[in-house]
Amino acid sequence: MIERITKEQIAEQGEYTAKIRLAVSAAASVRGRPMKFCVVTYGCQQNEADSERIAGMLSSMGYEKTADESDADVIIVNTCAVREHAEKRALSVTGQYKHLKEKNPDLLIGVCGCMVSQEHRLDDIKHRYPYVDLAFGTSYLWRLPEIIYGRMTRKKRLFMLDAESDGNIAEDVPVMRECGYRAWLSIMYGCNNFCTYCVVPHVRGRERSRLKEDIINEAKLLIADGVKDITLLGQNVNSYGRGLYDNYGFAELLEELNALDGDFTVRFMTSHPKDATKKLIDTMARCEKVPPQLHLPLQSGSDEVLARMNRKYTFESYKNLVDYAREKIPGLTLTSDMIVGFPGESEEDFEKTLSALSLIRYDMVYSFIYSPRKNTPAASYPDQIPEEVKHERFERMLQLQNGIGYEINRQYVGRTVRVLCDGPSKNDPDTLSGRTDGGKNVCFTGVCPAGGYADVRITDARVLCGFIAGGAPPLKTPPDPLLPPPSTL
């Protein structure tokens, strides 16, 4: 059963927060320094949004944020379960905190999120990581103050499993956002699709939508705070409102958000192809604040593989929707997800995926080698693909898509595009980075504050690079051979 957390329940967490704040203040006085927290996040955008709420609650408790685990008094690791590699990374990092606990026995270490919503992983943490103080699944996130207070007062390790939980919706949880001009806005949680490779329905519960009034009000607050780029989040945003409203769905929500006053864009992810409709495309086309960007996971170009995945669409129906979207939305940036090496994938099936890439020509593809997940049907399929075959196919697909992406990027050379600046690039502090309205990454030179817009003239297609229009091109960046002389533009 899906639970909507009441205001009284949230108020009770506020009481725990107030008690913790007194204890944190007293501890800070004794130590002569602020008490600090660090949140380490793995996984998807929803995990990042959850971590912002964890940070908001810890801040309300009186802790100050730090990015340095060795400087923290509380460490929370927010985990992912979509692939084995993500789980191993989280476990490896958690294992490294053992020496921090030895140096500071009062350090509180918590592990939360999708990974520990699985009973076998929760047991791993409990028995193999004795220095971890608490672990809790996704449905317990809103109860973090109560969990920490329980650990402080009872001095017992706490492990809370999402047993038989369909999930919940908790409003008015404090948030500490990572960015002042970009923001996540969750519109729904959970999933009902049960793709045979995916663990999400088991760790995030059943599909459930927030009330439209709560979403609209949160969007208004974000816009008032100066947020310029809002991303709506949901495992399948196209299912928004199902079971909650009779004649109100995702397209209607987009139109309401688009009608709000302010200079902002509203994008979304992720769309499931079986539920994405022409109505959605038409809505995107007429909403000026919805950018020309669509992430539409295909996963495989083979109808046989799609059926074994339980995706409930065919390549033909998918291609028809893409064609309609490109017809209605000029300059559409199209991205997708692909899984290589799904059980039973023949060479012919894989060739169909390569053919799909060549036919559709995505701007970017997030490609993954199939990773068996415990308690999913595909993990027990008898025809598992050998690792060497998976990796060989992955490299072939990567090479093909890289060439397609480069060819698409070359069409931008010589053009000027509007970019929302994110500040200095992580790879080169002398270069700025940002994203176009279509979500493409751009690195460029010039002067622009983070959160500001810049008109950038593209000079290089390998990774979209350029300089702010009207400024001097960077001497260290060789021009792309397709770039015409400035005098001709």
Rounded distance, CA 313 to CA 309, Å? 10
Return the CA Rg of the chain: 24
List of residues 6+ apart from 487 with CB closer than 8 A:
none
Q: Which pLDDT score, from 0 to 100, does residue 163 have?
A: 66
Q: Please spell the DSSP secondary structure of 105-138, one letter per residue.
A: TT-EEEEEESGGGSHHHHHHHHHH-TT--EEE-G
Cα–Cα distance measured from residue 46 to residue 50, given in angstroms and rounded to the nearest whole number: 6
Per-residue pLDDT of the chain in tens (489 residues, 90 and over written 9): 789 999 999 999 999 999 999 999 999 999 999 999 999 999 999 999 999 999 999 999 999 999 999 999 999 999 999 999 999 999 999 999 999 999 999 999 999 999 999 999 999 999 999 999 999 999 999 999 999 999 999 989 999 988 666 899 999 999 999 999 999 999 999 999 999 999 999 999 999 999 999 999 999 999 999 999 999 999 999 999 999 999 999 999 999 999 999 999 999 999 999 999 999 999 999 999 999 999 999 999 999 999 999 999 999 999 999 999 999 999 999 999 999 999 999 999 999 999 999 999 999 999 999 999 999 999 999 999 999 999 999 999 999 999 999 999 999 999 999 999 999 999 899 999 999 999 999 999 999 999 999 999 999 998 889 889 877 666 444 444 333 333 222
Domain ranges across the chain: 3-160, 416-488
Could you tell me which residues come within 8 angstroms of residue 309 by beta carbon, excluding any fewer than 6 positions away?
Answer: 195, 196, 197, 299, 300, 339, 342, 378
Question: Sheet containing 229-233: which strands, arranged edge to edge?
Answer: 182-186, 229-233, 265-269
- Report the pLDDT value the prediction gives residue 481, as an integer from 0 to 100: 39
The SS3 of residue 237 is helix
Helix (H, G, I), strand (E, B) or coil at 158: strand
* Of residues 32, 33, 36, 111, the one with CA closest to residue 72: 36
- Per-residue pLDDT at 162: 80
CATH code, 3-160: 3.40.50.12160
Q: Taking a C-beta distance cutoff of 8 angstroms, is the pair 225, 180 a contact?
A: yes
Where do we find the tokens 């598992």?
384
Contact 293, 438 (CB under 8 A): yes
Residue among 467, 348, 336, 469 at smallest CA distance from 405:
336
Taking Cα atoms as reference points, which of 436, 477, 432 lies closest to residue 459? 477
Q: Assign 3-state DSSP to the chain and report helix, strand, coil percentages, each to 5.
A: 40, 20, 40
Q: How far apart are the first and last CA of the chain?
A: 61
- What is the model's pLDDT at position 474? 60
pTM, two decimal places: 0.93
pLDDT confidence of residue 228: 98
Amino acid at 316: E
Distance from C-alpha of 271 to C-alpha of 265, rounded to nearest angstrom: 18
Q: Using alpha carbons, select from 297, 412, 423 the residue that is nearest to residue 360.
A: 297
Please state which CATH number belongs to domain 416-488: 2.40.50
User: 270: cis peptide before it, omega within 30°?
Assistant: yes
> Which DSSP state fits 420?
E
